[in-house]
Chain A
Amino acid sequence: EVQLVESGGGSVQPGGSLRLSCAASGFIFSDYYMSWVRRAPGKGLEWVANINQDGGARFYVDSVKGRFTVSRDNAKNSLYLQMNSLRVEDTAVYYCARWDGKFYWGQGTLVTVSS
């Protein structure tokens, strides 16, 4: 069974940093594109970032480029999202997702950016 478990969310002040982690199990992690998707309170879903199987290709939504970095450790079956220079508008539930033409989602972790 595919399992994706996010961690690392919490509260941070504007300008601060957080690192999200996603522990994957139930599939061969290194075979799949992985993604981060978020949902801000009361808003729709927003794709945030993708990383290919070996980490050599990364893609970001414009609003996080230069601030967020997606990475992975295939030996640890883990996906990461380093979030720097956080803004109030980054407040959201962040989901880790496996991609193979559709997303398989984790349960999400809440990030709150507030002064």
Chain B
Amino acid sequence: DIQMTQSPSTLSASVGDRVTITCRASQSFSSWLAWYQEKPGKAPKPLIYKASSLESGVPSRFSGSGSGTEFTLTISSLQPDDFATYFCQQSDSYPWTFGQGTRVEIK
């Protein structure tokens, strides 16, 4: 199984900050990596797919990069609506697996 390890688990930041979240995979794979945003009481929302493709309707301040064993989600300028939990998910091989999540909180 591919284990996905996210870091940090919690991140304190201010509006306008550049934020980077990392997912490290226990095995290398190319690009079947997605990022999601989750807020309490709501269904998770896809942000990035295939490691770096921006989901339609998602602001361009969100970007994804990486391949192999290290993938990153970057928010170029944190906005008030971005305080949420973010998690990664690989679909390169079964069983598909998720990172444990990164909570982005207000500093």
Contact = CB atoms under 8 A, between A and B. Distances in A.
Interface of A: 44-47, 50, 59, 61-62, 95, 99, 101-108
A101 B50 contact: yes
Determine the main DSSP class of A at the interface with B: strand
A108 B32 CA distance: 24
Chain B contact residues: over half helix, strand or loop, or mixed?
A: loop
Contacts of A46: 98
Nearest to A96: B43
A45 B98 contact: yes
B50 A44 contact: no
B29 interface: no
Contacts of A104: 46
B97 interface: yes
A103 B91 CA distance: 10
Contacts of A59: 94
Given A44-B98, A45-B89, 11 more contacts: A44-B87, A47-B96, A50-B96, A99-B91, A101-B32, A101-B50, A102-B55, A103-B44, A103-B46, A104-B46, A107-B42
Contact of B101 (A44, A95, A102, A103): A44
Given A45-B87, A95-B43, A108-B43, A103 B95 contact: no
Given A44-B101, A45-B87, A105 B94 contact: no
A47 to B, nearest CB: 4
A59 B48 CA distance: 24
12 contacts: A44-B98, A44-B101, A47-B89, A50-B96, A61-B95, A62-B95, A101-B49, A101-B50, A103-B36, A105-B45, A107-B43, A108-B43
A105 B44 CA distance: 6
Contacts of B96: 47, 50
B70 to A, nearest CB: 19
Among B42, B87, B89, B96, the one with the most A-chain Cβ atoms within 10 Å of its Cβ is B96
Contacts of A50: 96
A102 B100 contact: no
Contacts of B91: 99, 101
